[in-house]
Chains A and B, each alone.
Chain A
Amino acid sequence: GALVYQYPRRTICKSGTSMRMECQAVGFQATSVAWYRQSPQKTFELIALSTVNSAIKYEQNFTQEKFPISHPNLSFSSMTVLNAYLEDRGLYLCGAREGDDEQYFGPGTRLTVL
């Protein structure tokens, strides 16, 4: 079956430092990967969408300079939170899909910023 893994599952970083999170699709080809953030007590906001053979598209309020994303092949994507501050804390979800099929979500990376 189709599975999406994310690691680390939890991470703590000091304010002003950066942390990288990874997403791996197993059992299907991740032609598109979406990264979401759920801040405390809020819904899931789309950060950016990466589609094979297209430029990575960032949503308003999110930039490549702050959240650089790599999607080098059809099974892997990574995102870094640069210069993390308190407002960056939350659950970061990776959602991957093949073509127009159902989007599969990973378990998320929970980021705590001290």
Chain B
Amino acid sequence: GEKVEQHESTLSVREGDSAVINCTYTDTASSYFPWYKQEAGKSLHFVIDIRSNVDRKQSQRLTVLLDKKAKRFSLHITATQPEDSAIYFCAAKTGGYKVVFGSGTRLLVSP
């Protein structure tokens, strides 16, 4: 079945810098790649997603890139702010209903 690897377990950046979180997946049939954010002690919040029919999607300070050939996708956050600090999870979904999560990246944005 699908496996999603999230390469950075922690990432520390200074406020205003950019942050990049990278994920890879194994199932070529995966077609939907959402990103979620989990703040301390809280549940998941949807952040942004990308479908396999495009290779880039931007929403304000967030950009997701998808490289289907390499089976790799990444979340780029520009002009980071302390409130961006959280654990970010990438995920992948095949044509079925199952969503497989990565292991999470703890992003720390210091002032």
Write the residues of chain A forming the contact surface with B, with a CB cutoff of 8 angstroms: 32, 34, 36, 42-44, 46, 49, 51, 91, 93, 95, 97, 102-108
The size of the chain B interface, using a CB distance under 8 A, is 18
Q: Is the CB of A43 within 8 A of B97?
A: no
**A34-B97, A102-B49, A105-B45 known, 12 other contacts, Cβ within 8 Å:** A34-B99, A43-B103, A44-B101, A46-B100, A49-B97, A49-B98, A51-B97, A102-B34, A103-B93, A105-B36, A107-B42, A107-B43
What 3 pairs between A and B have smallest CB-CB spacing? A108-B43, A107-B43, A44-B101
Q: Is the CB of A103 within 8 A of B101?
A: no
Closest to A46 in B: B98
CB distance from A28 to the nearest CB of B (A): 14
Contacts of A44 in B (CB 8 A): 44, 89, 101
Q: How far is B97's CA from A107's CA once the two chains are assembled, in angstroms?
A: 20
Q: DSSP majority for the A interface?
A: strand
List which B1-53 residues lie within 8 A (CB) of chain A: 34, 36, 42-46, 49
CB distance from B27 to the nearest CB of A (A): 14
CB distance from A53 to the nearest CB of B (A): 13
Contacts of A42 in B (CB 8 A): 103
Contacts of B103 in A (CB 8 A): 42-43
Q: How far is B97's CA from A102's CA once the two chains are assembled, in angstroms?
A: 10
In this complex, the member of A36, A44, A93, A102 whose beta carbon has the largest number of chain B beta carbons within 10 angstroms is A44
Q: Is the CB of B100 within 8 A of A103?
A: no
Contacts of B89 in A (CB 8 A): 43-44
Give 20 pairs: A residue, B residue, CB < 8 Å, sorted on A: A32-B97, A34-B97, A34-B98, A43-B102, A43-B104, A44-B89, A44-B101, A46-B98, A46-B99, A46-B100, A49-B97, A95-B99, A102-B34, A103-B99, A104-B46, A105-B44, A105-B46, A106-B43, A107-B42, A108-B44
1/0 contact trace for B83-111 toward A, CB 8 Å? Answer: 00000010001000111111110000000
Contacts of A106 in B (CB 8 A): 43
